[in-house]
Structure formats: structure tokens, C-alpha cells
Amino acid sequence: QVQLVESGGGLVQAGGSLRLSCAASGPTFTGYRMTWFRQAPGKERAFVAGINWGSGTTNYADSVKGRFTISKDNAKTVVFLQMNNLKPEDTAVYYCAARRLLGAQYDAWGQGTQVTVSS
């Protein structure tokens, strides 16, 4: 059983920065992939960034490459999303999710944290 809690969202001006946190709890995260998604009003949920817990391998959506960085703290089992040079189109609710590398579905989702970027 995995539980996730996001935090760090807020209101920023275009060009500003935020760092989101996803606190994860569970027996082990070996073989898990941690992923950030976002959903804007009226749009479908979209992939943002992912990191494999064991290897540290990361990948990003094209829309955030060069601006966002996903990272993790192994000791505290926290996943971060550093968001720089934010744009109004980044406005969305951001969710953290976890799944096993060999799993077809995500095992857990956080409650989401709102990010609003003003122009």
C-alpha cells in the first residue's frame, strides 16, 4: 500500500518558480516509478515528469523540458518537482502518482495541489 500527499502549489507570476513535493509512504519503493501529472480546467490529465525510484531515470513532457526538474530524496521518500520559468499555460492541478515498473495501473494518487501562474 502506497500513500501520496502533494504540497507546494500556489500563485506565482509568469517567469517565477515553485517547488512541489510529494511525500510517499509505504513498505518499499524498490521497482516503483513516481510520476507527476497535471490537469487544467476543461482538459484531460496530462503527463508532466517521471522518475524511477531505483535507477533515478527521468523523463519529461516536451512542454516542460528545460524548465522543470523531477528529483527524489531516498531517505525521506519525497519526490520533488522544481518548476522554473513558469508560464500561464502551466496553470493546473498537479498530481503525484506511483506505480510498479511492471504494473499496468497506478497504485496510488495524491490529492493534488493547485498551481496558478498569472500573466
Per-residue pLDDT of the chain (119 residues; tens, 9 = 90+): 789 999 999 999 999 999 999 999 987 787 899 999 999 999 999 999 999 999 999 999 999 999 999 999 988 999 999 999 999 999 999 999 999 988 889 989 999 999 999 99
Residue 1 is predicted with a pLDDT of: 76
Residue 109 is predicted with a pLDDT of: 96
Residue 103 is predicted with a pLDDT of: 87
Residue 109 CA to residue 119 CA, distance in Å, equals 30
